[in-house]
Amino acid sequence: MTHLLFLIPLSIGMGLIGLAAFYWALRNDQFDDPEGSAWRIIAPENPPETKGTPDDDLAPDTQDRDPRSGL
């Protein structure tokens, strides 16, 4: 019983701290444009040109495999 007298106010206090942190983030525009910030990091303004061949010699040929042999 004495544990509950300690744990219940502690859990309510931690919940209030989390709620206060959320309201602080709302007031300081932390959630203003999360999608735009993500795309500015991922997509460069001048993407590099990709070079490659139309066929890949290192890819395995699936026609000559025996299904009974396993991997």
Q: Give the pTM.
A: 0.46
Exposure string (b/e) for 29-63, b if CB count within 10 Å is 16 or more?
eeeeeeeeeeeeeeeeeeeeeeeeeeeeeeeeeee
CB 67 within 8 A of CB 61: no
- Give residue-wise pLDDT tens across range 14-44: 999 999 999 999 998 887 776 776 666 665 6
With a cut of 90, say whether residue 53 has pLDDT above it. no
